[in-house]
Structure 1
Amino acid sequence: MSTSNESPSPRPRAVANHSTLGVLALRWSCATCRQSKRRCDKIYPKCTLCVQKNTPCNYPGRRKREKLKNRIKAILPKHDVRQLSFPSATSSFIAESFLDPEVFSKARLKVVNADVEVTDDITELVGSVLDIQATSAKFFKSVHMWMPIISKPHFCANLLNRLTYKRAELFLLVLSMKLSYTRVKTWNTPLYETVKLFQFKIEASGVLSTLVLQASILISLYELGHGIYPAAYLSVGSCARYATALGIEKSILSSSAAQGQWIEEEECRRMWWAILVLDRYLNLSNPKRHLITTDAGLESYLPVDDEVWESGVLNPDRIYTLATANSYHLGLFARFAQAAHLLSQVLHHVSEESNETAQLRRTIFALVNVSNIEASMRRLEYCSQSAVCYAGILALDYSSFSKGMCISDSGQKLSSESAIISQATLDMALTLIHGDSDQLCDVASPFLVHLLYKVASMHLRIAHKSQTRGDREKVEILRKSMKLVGSRWLCTSTYLSLLEKQEILLVME
């Protein structure tokens, strides 16, 4: 307690607190005393002379000191994490979520995608709502036939909403759709350059979105189909990383079968299977190269039937895993996923130089037979999964074929498996030549080109040994069909160039 005999406490001196202000902890005279050149007793907030003369008393650095105090107060740690006041989501938030996801989760933070600026040239390329609908309609009638990773009903139903809240991501997807189905004479088009730059801009902004991943897969298909390497190989790897960042690789491990969210779940599942297919397809040319993605297990869920996918109405009884897939109603994309699973085994056998391939061959041919039945039932001319499966068997045959072991003593016959593949591929080639090639090429996938090349390469060797007219004619049929597909996929010119080089090498042997 204070008494009347106690003197009043002196006013505080103008000395900054060392623990908070560091180098600003100095003694100073007020501005008025310094200007009058008189001795200041430095009493804070007003010195004695200024009080006596009733003049303003200002100390130098006072505003800076107050600002610094407020900044320090704002960043001082508090004991309760739940009471932390965090800034709005920025690119630093995304970095934090990657560098220490545990702390990021405990702090109850959430990354919100940034609004990416859409330039006038992008807007002009995309066009109006009617233009977007026209672009998507062409896409769903072409590339979507063999790579159905986008839900048509979902895309149409959410178009206006995405124009408002996900404009940049939607525009990238629309331009990628256009890129994937457009026929070009050279791969390095202004559209391709614009899409790649826009993709980089969105990814650099820290946006993580399924729309961006769908667009990236379509860009990878464009690069693969037009022989743009190493871009195609690197883009597929980038898709795998991006999908993992979104957690999409987990989509094949569970199925909620909930009507309200199954389309989004199914889109994620289809995207991951598409990445698995592309990763394995790219390694068919070099089976000993490491895969970017891990193999799917038998408990992995397959895509739903394509008819269900197109309708947007789920039948919970039609959901299968790799282990339970014994139905004729799986759908072509589910068969494609099965083909990816078998391709994994093919690549392992080839890289390990295993000779125990009989069972694997039978399994692949069984899948091809079922796929062909479904394709004929649904009147689809070309099954991408059949082409990939055939290419897988040829990869198993390649080591022995390169040594001439697939050719009989007469030099005119292939092994039984290769003979079946050869005839099926020749039938495809003749259908292309005698049918409406423009219409057929619109729905033909680039996977078909690889198969045509591999079979042509086999018959080129046979023709060189047999010197018969029939074998030469087969090579020319395959070449002609490849040139027709070349109007759609520019990678064909590279394959034809390789055939010419093989022919020169055979002559030189």
Structure 2
Amino acid sequence: MIPQSPKQQKLSCSACKDRKRKCDRGLPKCSLCSRRNLICEYPTRRRRELPQSHTQSQTYPSPQSSTPASTSVSQTPCANTALSLPSSEFPPVFYLDNAVFQNSLVSKPSPISQIPLSITSLIGDASNWSSVAAAYFETVHTWMPIISKKRFFENVPINDIAQSPLRSDYALLILCMELSMWMPRGQNPRTKAYLAAKSFYLDLEIQGIVSIQLLQALILLAFYETGHAIFPSAAVSVEACVRYGQALGINWEAKSSEKKPFAWVDREEQNRVWWAVFMLECVSRIGYPRSPPLVESPSPEVHLPSSTTAWDDGVMPSKNLTILQPRSNQDLGPFATMAEAIRLLSRVLEHVAVTDVDEQHNEEAFILDRALKALESVVEYEGDYNRLSIMNQTTMCSISLIILHEAHASKQSTASEYFRTAHHTNHITDAVSKSREEFTRSLTDIASIHSCVREASPFLTTLLYQAAVANLRLDQETGSEESSKSLHTMKTALAEFDNRWKASGAYLKILEAREVSAM
């Protein structure tokens, strides 16, 4: 070996390095560059190399750390808990040429990355995972059954005997399940847990992790943001749910898995997840109309959700009904009736968006009215027959009826008189008034009130507001004591539901603004 001298550089020149040639590091030029008359440039300083142990835990830079001023700031404990660099990346071929991806053996990254301490400190240990799951499946699952109990308990190690570690996507899902049950009690919904969930989701997205569990977590986050009026995050999350579902190949036409045997439980889970995405997108268009919608309405051949009880048990039912397939009342489960209601809501929103009103338009209104009332009777039958909570299904039907009735009752047409008389707001106001009386008699403290409204879905706040707006119009037109009393009933209900969903309080402020401006 030739001893190093002042006439020799410590690093190879750029030309030799690019050509993967051995460089003699001579000055002013190395021998290769001299022979080939190349420009010989040496690096001015050695690039700092990180220890091997550090490369496994390097953190993603935050917006603050990317600025020159932040380079002198010492590392905080939060930075130590950030995610490690991904061991694999999402294959670009999936988006750049999906046909090649479908015919290749390329796979998407597995959700086996390290879970940051900031997340593990929030979700706790296996015992807490079990407690969160038990509470979730007794509450939120009753109105949004999109997580398979069977798959959840198969993949989440909830006892000390389990050998496999918790997957990162399930860690986020557990955190979002707990978030969906959170009660405000006067607090800002932008909690530490919420911010951690948003950050962790983005970290997993950066790593290229794609799984249905991540989509389920994102759906629960979108419900949380919508229910607590966290905007514009809620609107962004709803659109992200649509795009993420498409990346997973989940849509109305999805038939089977891409590259593995697919059980009925998994197909049903995909179908339920897409119905939930459609539900979110459709409800978001009530207050913020957009055309065309992000998710198209399902065709008659699309399958309705099956029995939730059978799905939870992993037992495939004998029937898998489509939208227009003949069925009896007992064939429709709670989530299937809610899916039907949201499909009709989508049609109602398209109907009321039409500006040119003619007899054909009025006839369509009567058809929608009959369809919604028929579904409402099915929902009521389902509740009486199976003694299950049907609040959410009734809510969707009621929202659709109020929007339809109000659109025609507030205009002058041949159909206006019918819809003023049959206005569904009268039924809802009466039901809310009676429920509040029973509620007040049975509950004596705030803790009991919080416990009762915990199971309420965020859709109830939308229903209360739509009914309140209709009552406000009637009060402004008639000024009667009855209309004033009805408006007060809805205002009080909105104030009470603020204990569960902060959007209720936001709706109340908007209603007061309408009242002051005489809208």
Normalising by structure 1, what TM-score? 0.76
Stretch deviating more after TM superposition (244-253 or 452-461):
244-253
After superposition, where does 1:100-119 map in structure 2 within 5 Å? 100-113=97-110, 115-119=112-116
Q: Do the aligned partners of 1:375 and 1:383 also contact (CA within 8 Å) in 2?
A: no
Matched residue of 2:113: which SS?
coil
Distance between the aligned counterparts of 2:147 and 2:96, measured in 1? 31
Stretch deviating more after TM superposition (452-461 or 188-197):
452-461
Deviation at residue 430 of structure 1 after TM alignment? 3.0
Q: Does 1:128 align with 2:136?
A: no
CA shift in 2, pair 1:309/1:230, >3 Å: same
The partner residue of 1:357 within 359, 365, 380 is 365
Deviations 1:277-334 (A, max 9, x none): 111111122445431112110000111012212332222x221000115221211101
* Equivalent in the alignment of 2:384: 376
Q: Does 1:391 align with 2:392?
A: no
Deviation at residue 233 of structure 1 after TM alignment? 1.5
- AA aligned opposite 1:220: A
Q: Identity of counterpart residues, as a percentage?
A: 29
Deviation at residue 422 of structure 1 after TM alignment? 2.5
After superposition, where does 1:116-195 map in structure 2 within 5 Å? 116-160=113-157, 164=164, 167-184=167-184, 185-195=187-197
Distance between the aligned counterparts of 2:377 and 2:350, measured in 1? 23
CA shift in 2, pair 1:156/1:283, >3 Å: same
CA shift in 2, pair 1:473/1:421, >3 Å: closer
Distance between the aligned counterparts of 1:460 and 1:108, measured in 2? 61
Q: Does 1:96 align with 2:93?
A: yes
CA shift in 2, pair 1:252/1:417, >3 Å: farther
Distance between the aligned counterparts of 1:205 and 1:406, measured in 2? 58
- AA aligned opposite 2:467: V
Distance between the aligned counterparts of 1:103 and 1:278, measured in 2? 33
Distance between the aligned counterparts of 2:136 and 2:287, measured in 1? 28
CA shift in 2, pair 1:297/1:282, >3 Å: same
Deviations 1:35-60 (A, max 9, x none): xxxxxxx9xxxxxxxxxxxxxxxxxx
Matched residue of 2:461: which SS?
helix
Q: Do the aligned partners of 1:381 and 1:440 also contact (CA within 8 Å) in 2?
A: no
- AA aligned opposite 2:284: L
Stretch deviating more after TM superposition (331-340 or 469-478):
469-478
Matched residue of 1:187: which SS?
coil
* Equivalent in the alignment of 2:75: none
* Equivalent in the alignment of 1:434: 438
- AA aligned opposite 2:167: R
* Equivalent in the alignment of 1:64: none
Stretch deviating more after TM superposition (347-356 or 181-190):
347-356
Distance between the aligned counterparts of 2:18 and 2:122, measured in 1? 57
Q: Do the aligned partners of 1:253 and 1:299 also contact (CA within 8 Å) in 2?
A: no
Give the RMSD, CA atoms, in angstroms: 3.5
After superposition, where does 1:51-450 map in structure 2 within 5 Å? 90-91=88-89, 93-113=90-110, 115-160=112-157, 164=164, 167-184=167-184, 185-250=187-252, 261-315=263-317, 317-328=318-329, 329-353=331-355, 354-355=361-362, 356-403=364-411, 415-418=420-423, 420-435=424-439, 436=443, 437-450=449-462
Deviation at residue 102 of structure 1 after TM alignment? 2.7
Deviation at residue 118 of structure 1 after TM alignment? 1.3
The partner residue of 1:482 within 472, 494, 498 is 494
Task: Please list every run of 5 or more consecutive structure 2 residues that lacks an aligned counterpart in the other structure.
Answer: 1-15, 27-34, 36-85, 356-360, 444-448
Deviations 1:351-410 (A, max 9, x none): 23343311111111111111122123333455223222222232223444444779999x
Matched residue of 1:357: which SS?
helix
Deviation at residue 24 of structure 1 after TM alignment? 6.7
CA shift in 2, pair 1:105/1:153, >3 Å: closer
- AA aligned opposite 2:510: L
Matched residue of 1:248: which SS?
coil
Deviation at residue 116 of structure 1 after TM alignment? 2.6
Deviation at residue 260 of structure 1 after TM alignment? 7.6
Distance between the aligned counterparts of 1:105 and 1:414, measured in 2? 52
Deviation at residue 442 of structure 1 after TM alignment? 1.6
CA shift in 2, pair 1:245/1:469, >3 Å: same
Q: Do the aligned partners of 1:463 and 1:471 also contact (CA within 8 Å) in 2?
A: yes
- AA aligned opposite 1:120: L
- AA aligned opposite 2:339: A
Distance between the aligned counterparts of 1:366 and 1:469, measured in 2? 33
Deviations 1:181-225 (A, max 9, x none): 110221111111011000110111100011101100000000010
* Equivalent in the alignment of 2:503: 491
Deviation at residue 163 of structure 1 after TM alignment? 8.2
* Equivalent in the alignment of 1:72: none
Distance between the aligned counterparts of 1:154 and 1:398, measured in 2? 43
Distance between the aligned counterparts of 1:347 and 1:415, measured in 2? 19
Distance between the aligned counterparts of 2:376 and 2:404, measured in 1? 16
CA shift in 2, pair 1:116/1:474, >3 Å: same
Matched residue of 2:293: which SS?
coil
The partner residue of 2:464 within 452, 455, 459 is 452
* Equivalent in the alignment of 2:39: none
CA shift in 2, pair 1:407/1:362, >3 Å: closer
Distance between the aligned counterparts of 2:453 and 2:286, measured in 1? 23
